[in-house]
Amino acid sequence: MLVGLGTADAEPLHWHLSLESGAEYDSNIHRFENSDGDCPSPPDLSDPDCLIGGALLLRGVARLAVRWRPGESQRIRISGLGGGKLYGPADLDSSSDENVRIVSGDIRYQRMLRSRGAILAARASYYDTSPLGHASPVEPRHFATGGADMSLSVQGPDRHRLVLSGGYRQYRLKISPSFDWRGDRYSLRYQTTEWLGDPNRDLDAASIELAVSYAIARRYYGGSVERTDIYHSADAQLVYTGDRVYSARYQLHVIDSNGYGDSLIRQRIHLGITAELFAELFLTVEANLQFDRGSSTASDPMETIDDENRSSLTAHASKALSDTWSVEVRYALFVNELRSVDPSYRRQIIYAGMVYQLSR
Amino acid sequence: MFITATVVVQVGLASPVVAAGPTPVAQATPKQPPVTPGQATPGAPATGPGERDTERARGELANLIRERQKARAHKASLARQYDSQLAEIDRLKRSRASWRRDRLIRDRMGKSHGTAKKLASVASRLRRLESREREARRELAAAIDRELAAVPSSARRAALLGWRRDAVRGLRRDAKTIVLPDQRIDPLADPEELEYQVSLIRQSEKQLTRELARLGVQARRYRRMVAMRQTRQRAAALGSMDDDRPRRSSAGRRDTADRDGNAAGGAGTPTPDSSETPTGSTDGAGGLGHDSGSDGQEGGSDGQNSGLDGAGGDPMFDVVLANVIDAPTIDALRAAETSGDPAVKARAAERAREQVERRLERLKKRRNEIQKRANRLRRR
């Protein structure tokens, strides 16, 4: 087996800072669904169809990533982000409840085991969403999750790579501890890259990357109901990079819960294309189709498993204005047209912003 | 000090192979016993169209190799003759000035100029032959591939694979190192010698310009690949903050009161198809993003591919530019050849391109200086 590991002595610190900010219009800021889509006139605030409203918002995020090789065969990477969304006034309802602050951090350590042609890695991460502003209430969307993983990556000849990982994660829904969970997770992933043509000679060489994975996770819920969910997920992804980037992905999730005898099978298909239109203006268009099929024996009105069909179409365009500044616009459409039952869902997002980047 | 006007294109063939005569590709196949009709053997006359093409390509390559070897031998002989003529002129110039010395110098220089012209002509012919030989090798490899696709007998297949290996190996060895000519201005040199030096430098400039263009195209292409991948990852990072999870509550999901407390376990819960740690951070320039479902599964495309086998491990820029760019850049090019990461390849190509560009500028400047001196000497 070929040991496909690079050699490197200690290197100085490399860091990358990105500041991004922009304005966005969200047509359904509360992400409500509606059954008939009609809001009577004059509006009735007790009718949720009247609460499907849009608002402008400001979005800002700061990202920092630091890379460092303390010695040969070791690498440390620390990344974090802080940001939030600040909503303007909506037509009929207070939008300030949707203001959100996000903080996350991720630290990874990798060690190359040259004699075995493998890479051992450890990772810890944390993600937290909170109300933005002390006066804002805690919403059902505010949560915190953190976990740790270890992985073993084995590289073979011709860029084949096998990754085995296992870890533990906790989740806390801030508004209600009934939905807090913790559990272990294991996964196996295979990845390879093939080149069409010789990348060192042919000027039209293109790469094809393939990755397939399987993961299983357990989630133990506390609260009054003893519940353990088992998540199975299978994933296959293909990316072609040549004059354009084409991507395709299929995900299958099977979620078994012993809470109320519910289960869910979710299939998700992703198709994407990225191309340069002209003058280094890049456009990415992606479509996500989601099919959910659940079975439930629950008689309790509280549903505990996501069972919506949420599909989306997004278009993102960006252009670098200089080495440090770039501008971007994005449009996203979320629908559940593939649903089997009512209600319907529609949401549109239009975003325009700028990114400032510095690195060393 | 005399200008060493030796020309300068080293062909990186393993000399034992060159000196030993025809390469295995061009060897005549031994006679074979009669075979069953329809069964091709390495030594039997070519029967099918695929075999005929292969044999024709082999024959053509063998002829070109013979011609090339003859041209090389002729060039080596002329180069030796030229060197000895130059050495003699140098010796005469150092001797005591006299009418006889000056007459001899003029005579020897006339002959050396003639030799230099023949040398340039043979060198040009050799380059054309080498180019045709490379083409013939590619055609032979293609003909062999076509014949292999027709599933020949095992003996024929073994022979075909051996010939193909030799043909392709010959292509790799043909990487030419660009050797820059002497750029020092010899104060004793006369205008003709200076102008010959200028012509040599001009040839090197053409070679460097070709490599510069190639490096530039390669760097642009890989930078574009990196930019597209980063744009794609950026689109995913922006999407991670859409927070499109449903605000699902009960069967009375349209009840506004449910917003506050009766949220289902799915609300806000990052399910397996969303980032477990939706930081949106991007990792290197890998085409496979580290988003949905890939938690804990390092793509590791940021430099970890270095050291993996490259596509055939063919030396290219690091051999061709060995005398033009510095050692760390050569190391970077070598590492890039074995890396599958376009970002690594783009950086290495850009670095080499900058160095070649600087060397080319210096070369042009020196050429102009030498040309000016030659013009001044002519005006005297």
Residues B160 and B219 in one domain: no
State the Cα–Cα distance between residues B110 and A327, nearest whole angstrom: 67
Cα separation, A126 vs B261, in Å, equals 24
The overall average pLDDT reported for chain A is 82
Q: Identify which of A228, A97, A227 has the alpha carbon closest to the alpha carbon of residue A175.
A: A97
- For residue range A293-344, list pLDDT tens digits in order: 776 554 443 444 455 667 899 999 999 999 899 999 999 999 877 665 666 7
**Residues linked to residue A228 through DSSP beta bridges, in sequence order:** A220
Shared domain for B326 and B368, answered yes or no, is yes
pLDDT value of position A127 = 93
Q: Which pLDDT score, from 0 to 100, does residue A235 have?
A: 94
pLDDT of A218 > 80? The answer is yes
Task: Tell me what ipTM this predicted complex has.
Answer: 0.83
Asked if residues A272 and A284 have their Cβ atoms less than 8 Å apart, the reply is yes
**pLDDT tens digits along A250-287:** 999 998 876 666 677 888 999 999 999 988 899 999 99
Hey, is the C-beta of A280 within 8 angstroms of any chain B C-beta? yes
Lowest mean pLDDT among A95-99, B91-95, B353-357: A95-99
Q: How much is the average pLDDT of B145-158?
A: 81
Using the structure block, give the residue that is written with the tokens 């010796």: B91
Contact check, Cβ <8 Å, B270/A179:
no
Is A106 near chain B, with CB under 8 Å?
Answer: yes
Q: Which of chain A's residues have a Cβ under 8 Å away from the Cβ of B168?
A: none
C-beta of residue A223 within 8 angstroms of C-beta of residue A179:
yes
Nearest-by-Cβ selection for B311 from A199, A235, A343: A199
- The two structure tokens encoding residue B365: 């400047």
Find the mean pLDDT for residues A175-196.
88
Instruction: Judge if B160 and B203 occupy the same domain.
Output: no
Q: Could you give the 3-state DSSP secondary structure of residue A224?
A: coil
Q: What is the pLDDT of residue B173?
A: 53
pLDDT for the residue numbered B5: 37
Q: How far is CA A293 from the centre of its chain?
A: 22
Are residues B264 and B249 in contact, defined by beta-carbon separation less than 8 angstroms?
yes
Close Cβ partners of A3 (under 8 Å, ≥ 6 residues apart): A114, A116, A117, A155, B307
Mutate one of A57, A114, A274 to test the B interface: name it (highest B CB count within 10 A): A274
**Long-range CB contacts (within 8 A, 24+) of B114-120:** B115/B78, B115/B81, B115/B82, B115/B85, B116/B5, B116/B82, B116/B196, B118/B78, B119/B7, B119/B75, B119/B78, B119/B79, B119/B82, B120/B7, B120/B199
CA-based nearest residue to B67, from B126, B19, B8: B126
Domain of residue B322 covers: 181-236+303-380
Nearest to B61 by CA among B175, B168, B172, B154: B168
Q: Which of A142, A272, A334 sits opposite B232 (nearest CB)?
A: A272
CA distance A318 to A327: 6
Instruction: Indicate yes or no: CB of B269 within 8 angstroms of CB of A157.
Output: no
Cβ distance B276 to A169 less than 8 Å, yes or no, reads yes
Structure tokens at A228: 């353990």
CB contacts of A165 in chain B (<8 Å) are: 296-297
pLDDT class for B196, splitting at 50, 70, 90? confident
CB contact under 8 A, B298 and A153: yes
- The verdict on a CB contact (< 8 Å) between B265 and A305 is yes
Query: What are A4-57's pLDDT values in tens digits?
Result: 344 445 678 899 999 999 999 998 887 777 655 566 666 666 666 666 678 899
With respect to residue B33, please indicate whether it lies within any of the assigned structural domains: no
Q: Please check whether residue B126 lies inside any domain of the structure.
A: yes
What's the pLDDT at B315? 38
If asked whether residues B205 and B134 sit together in one domain, one would say no
Q: Which residues of B touch A301 (CB under 8 A)?
A: 250-252
Which pLDDT score, from 0 to 100, does residue A357 have?
93
Residue B252 lies in a domain: no
The DSSP H or E segment spanning B367 is helix B342-379
**Position B345 pLDDT exceeds 50:** yes
For chains A and B, CB pairs below 8 A equal 308
Same domain as B197, residue B218: yes
* Residue A248 confidence (pLDDT): 96
Domain shared by B156 and B208, yes or no: no
Distance, in Å, from the CA atom of A79 to the CA atom of A105, rounded to the nearest integer, reads 6
Judged against a pLDDT cut of 80, whether residue B60 lies above it is answered with yes
**Residue B252: what pLDDT?**
33
Chain A, residues 135-174, CB within 8 A of chain B, namely: 137, 139-143, 145, 147, 149, 151, 153, 155, 157-159, 161, 163, 165-167, 169, 171, 173
- What sign for the dihedral angle of Cα B90, B93, B94, B99? positive
- Rounded to 5 degrees, φ, ψ at A224 are -75, -25
Flag whether residue A351 sits within 8 Å of chain B, measured between CB atoms.
Answer: yes
CB contact under 8 A, A6 and B221: no
Question: Do B56 and B86 have their domain in common?
Answer: yes
pLDDT in tens, A118-169: 899 999 999 998 887 765 666 777 889 999 999 999 987 667 889 999 999 9
Q: DSSP strand E in chain A: where?
A: 11-26, 55-69, 74-87, 100-113, 118-131, 143-155, 161-173, 181-196, 206-221, 227-241, 245-257, 263-278, 281-295, 311-320, 325-335, 346-359
Phi, psi of A52 (to 5 degrees): -80, 90
Cross-chain residue pair B293–A251, CB shorter than 8 Å: yes
Closest by alpha carbon to B140, among B65, B56, B57, B48?
B57
In a domain, B246, yes or no: no
Residues B18 and B150 in one domain: yes
- Domain boundary residue among B134, B154, B174? B174
Number of domains observed in the structure of chain B: 2
Residues in A 41-80 with any Cβ partner in B closer than 8 A: 45-49, 51, 59, 61, 63, 65, 67, 79-80
B255 in a structural domain: no
A344 in contact with B at a CB cutoff of 8 Å? no
Q: Same domain for B102 and B203?
A: no
